[in-house]
Structure 1
Amino acid sequence: MLPAEVTMVTMKQTGPLEQRSVSFLGFTLEWEHRFEEQLPLYAQIRRSDLVTHLSEHYGDATPGSTILVPLDDIDALHSELTAKNFPYAKPGVDEVPWGREMEIGGFQS
């Protein structure tokens, strides 16, 4: 059996946009780490079983990458996120040959 995957996302800098983005998506911050005060932040966020690492270090992941997350109820998540009226992301659900998908973008700071 394969272990659960952990995704990694590179962020340009931490700050209000990233904090609002995490909150908007319904994640909670589990931990943060810096080797020294001036070095890049590395953090872990979670929503249910989905664990994501966030890193300010440019070498940890490719900026602008896409993460695909299988969902049981895409309509419920779409309703939840749309109701928050987040100004930086307007998710929409699309029909694609492999099913339905929701793209959530607009988090580049």
Structure 2
Amino acid sequence: MSFGKTTPVLHIDDEGKALAFYIGFLGFSVDWQHRFEPGFPLYLQVSRGDCVLHLSEHKSDAAPGAALRIETDGLEAFRAQLLGKAGGDVPTEIQAMPWGSLDMTLHDPFGNRLVFTNAICA
């Protein structure tokens, strides 16, 4: 038996803020987007490398305030990219965690917590 990758669904409530944060700031790309009709809630997939996220304006999809961990082998370089985009002001530092990983936590405009980690070093 095997399992595949997980694709989290995060709640968003403003397309412009979501695109500014995930695409403009974090550097993800929009893979596809869907609306049942014009003016209906947006559902889209964004990705960066192997990290794939679904973002949804649908009220029944996810709740604001979700938390997820995203592994990266370039945490310091990623933080440097964000510092450049934010004019040197990213509201988080890379922290050494008691379980051995280095983590950097960001919150999106909708209260979702994204923890970028260099992976757990057991």
RMSD: 2.1
The corresponding residue for 2:31 is 30
The corresponding residue for 1:85 is 86
Q: Which amino acid aligns with 1:64?
A: G
Q: How many residues are aligned here?
A: 108
TM-score by length of 2: 0.78
Shift of 1:38: 2.8
CA–CA distance in structure 1, aligned partners of residues 104 and 6 of structure 2: 20
Gaps of 5+ in 1: none
Secondary structure of residue in 2 paired with 1:68: strand
Name the CA shift for 1:54/1:106 in 2 (closer, same or farther; >3 Å): closer
CA–CA distance in structure 1, aligned partners of residues 89 and 57 of structure 2: 20
CA–CA distance in structure 1, aligned partners of residues 88 and 102 of structure 2: 23
After TM superposition, the structure 1 = structure 2 runs for residues 1-109 of structure 1, keeping only pairs within 5 Å, are 1-15=2-16, 17-22=17-22, 23-85=24-86, 90-98=91-99, 99-108=101-110
Secondary structure of residue in 2 paired with 1:19: helix
Gaps of 5+ in 2: 112-122
Name the CA shift for 1:87/1:72 in 2 (closer, same or farther; >3 Å): closer
Secondary structure of residue in 1 paired with 2:59: coil
Shift of 1:86: 6.3
Shift of 1:19: 1.7
What percent of counterpart residues are identical? Answer: 31
CA–CA distance in structure 2, aligned partners of residues 84 and 90 of structure 1: 13
CA–CA distance in structure 1, aligned partners of residues 5 and 71 of structure 2: 13
List structure 1 segments (4+ residues) > 3 angstroms apart after TM superposition. 86-89
Q: Which amino acid aligns with 1:18?
A: A
Contact 1:45-1:53 within 8 A present in 2 as well: yes
Q: Which amino acid aligns with 1:13?
A: D
TM-score by length of 1: 0.86
CA–CA distance in structure 1, aligned partners of residues 14 and 98 of structure 2: 36
Secondary structure of residue in 1 paired with 2:69: coil
